Structure 1
Amino acid sequence: MTDAARRPAGELEAEVLAALWAAHAPLTPPQVQQSLGGTLARTTVATILARLHDKGTVIRSRSGRAYAYTPAVEDEAALAARRMHTELEKGDDRSGVLARFVSRLSPDDEQLLRGLLARAEEPGSRP
């Protein structure tokens, strides 16, 4: 595959995760390969699954001599939230990171965030 034909970074991981979410059951690399239409090599699928496992995005368990994989996050929103938390935890200046993040929110997103924070403070809400 030429550089011009290469997929953007993360696209294959997103496709593999989408296949796992759609399956609602653990899948082995050949099963993931099949669900993606069989166009990727099994070794490519296995490598992507191993990388996702290393990142904590999928959980693997023994299935015979191979591994079967299950998403560790329930959907795209949970995946994005996990990535945001990971980035936040990398630095020493959490306040600065959050301040810059909030300063770049659109007015609609800022209003949405304020509403979510208000709901989180309500009695009986999740911590």
Structure 2
Amino acid sequence: MIKHFFDEEGVEQTQLALYGLTDAERQEEAAAIRLDLPAWVVRWFELDAQQQAYFNQMNSQMIGFLAEQASFAVANRLPITLIKYSARAEGDESDKLFKPTSSLTATADSNGNFEASGSLTIEVSYN
């Protein structure tokens, strides 16, 4: 597995690698995301010191939300997009904001059919 940087291109390349796995392998990765998102991110992405520090202090509710949403998207080969707005200038003390927005939905019928749709967008900005 090739680790990519945690940026727009890296997320896209990682998604291509994940969605090229067999269904069983992809389901294993989705389960790993749900079980321990921070460890999964470290395993799949090359993080710089600031990114690692941010993930280490991220609110547990945000981690849980992201884990559920990302796991569902990966399990069902749905798009995940990262949008990073301009990086914080050196010495800038503004807060980093991590804002996931999901349109993920699921539909099931009485015949046991299941359909997943939607996407997950993660915006990273500073205020």
More helix by share: 1
- Of the two, which has the highest radius of gyration? 1
Relative to the length of structure 1, the TM-score reads: 0.23
Query: Of the two structures, which has the highest relative contact order with CA contacts closer than 8 Å and spacing of 6 or more?
Result: 2
Relative to the length of structure 2, the TM-score reads: 0.23
